[in-house]
Structure 1
Amino acid sequence: MDKDVIRKRLLKTRSRMCASDVEVKSGRIVESILSLKQWINAQEVLLYWPIKNEVDVRPLLEAAWDSGKKLFMPCCRTDEPGLMDFGVVRAEHDLLGGSFGIKEPCRSRCEFPDAVSPDIVIVPGVGYDSHGYRIGFGGGYYDRFLARPQKDFFLSVGVCYSFQLVEGFPVEPWDQAVSLVCTEKELIWQN
């Protein structure tokens, strides 16, 4: 099945979610992530700011700050579509409205290191399959990041609601799978 068709269907379903469903299902996903030994042991984490009923991972931001983890968040490059820089965010006031209506690290307030090697990366998606491949918005931002050579292993966790688990979409050579898909109902580890 065509990715664009699946993307439109999943986004339509996600847009119809009520606030309480988003809160309850996101809460279950956040609880699962907080219980992962990789989260507990992580020194550096990479998170995103949710929009349009994406899994609300904002409690993970608070948990990272409270436990002294270094928190990175993406910032899209306006002059280079598909590429992101990563800023160290120490509090919510370090975030400003950015690309696609997503809060991003303020370039004048946040440190943007040349190399970023988080221990755990939380990856949003419009859809995922059971092998960890994702359907995003089509810009390839996370695929490019996940494909970068890394000095150390990190755990990549794709988060979505259970209705966003789909099979049968084409996987392109540049698509990068995550290590773990986490829904409100299950954890799907990749071998």
Structure 2
Amino acid sequence: MDKNVIRQRLLELRSSLKETAVHSASRCIVESLLGLEQWKNAGEVLLYWPIRNEVDIRPLLTEALSSDKKLFMPCCRRDEPGIMDFGVVRAEKDLISGSFGIKEPCRSRCEFPDAVSPDLILVPGVGFDRNGFRIGFGGGYYDRFLARPQKDGFLSVGICYSFQIVDGFPHEPWDQPVELICTDKELIWRN
């Protein structure tokens, strides 16, 4: 099946979710993530700001900021589509509305290291298959990041609702799978 058709169908389903369903499913996902040893042991995490009914992981941002974890968040380059930089966020006030209406680190307030290699990265997606491959919005932002060399023990986690697990979509040579998918109903480890 064509990725664009799947993307459109999943976005329609996601946008139709009621606030109570988003809250309930997001809470299940956050609790699963907080229970992972990789979350507990992570010194550096890369998280995202949810938009348009994405899984609401903001409690993890709060948890990371109140703990000893170094919190990175992505910031899209306005003049280079598909490329993200990663800022160190120390408080929610460090975030501003950026590309695509997503909150991102303020370039004048946050440190943007040249090299970023967190222990754990949460990757939003429109859909995933059980092998960890992802359908995003087609810009390749996360594929580019995941293709970089990472530190040993690095864990990439796809975040989605259970209805966003689909099989049968094509993979491109540049697609980078995640190691784990966390939904409101299950944890799916890639073989």
User: Residue 6 of structure 2 corresponds to which residue in structure 1?
Assistant: 6
Give the alignment of 1:130-169 within 5 angstroms: 130-169=130-169
RMSD (CA atoms) = 0.7
- SS of 2:75 mapped into structure 1: strand
User: Residue 45 of structure 2 corresponds to which residue in structure 1?
Assistant: 45
Partner deviation per Cα, 1:61-98 (whole Å, 9 max, x = no partner): 01111112000000000111000000000111000000
- SS of 1:71 mapped into structure 2: strand
CA drift at 1:153: 3.5
Give the alignment of 1:1-191 within 5 angstroms: 1-191=1-191
CA drift at 1:22: 0.4
CA distance in 1, matches of 2:52, 2:87: 22
* Amino acid aligned to 1:5: V
- Structure 2, unaligned stretches of length 5 or more? none
Deviates more, 1:30-39 or 1:148-157: 148-157
* Amino acid aligned to 1:19: E
1:48–1:124 contact (8 Å) kept in structure 2: yes
- SS of 1:88 mapped into structure 2: strand
CA drift at 1:152: 3.4
CA drift at 1:149: 1.6
- SS of 2:188 mapped into structure 1: strand
CA distance in 1, matches of 2:152, 2:97: 31
Structure 1 segments, 4+ long, off by >2 Å, are 150-153
- SS of 1:96 mapped into structure 2: strand
1:117–1:152 contact (8 Å) kept in structure 2: no
CA drift at 1:163: 0.4
Q: Tell me the TM-score normalized by structure 1.
A: 0.99
- The count of residues paired between Structure 1 and Structure 2 equals 191
2:119–2:151 contact (8 Å) kept in structure 1: no
Q: Tell me the TM-score normalized by structure 2.
A: 0.99
CA drift at 1:13: 0.4
- SS of 1:176 mapped into structure 2: coil
Partner deviation per Cα, 1:22-67 (whole Å, 9 max, x = no partner): 0000000000000000000000000000000000010000111111
CA distance in 1, matches of 2:32, 2:114: 31
- SS of 1:82 mapped into structure 2: coil
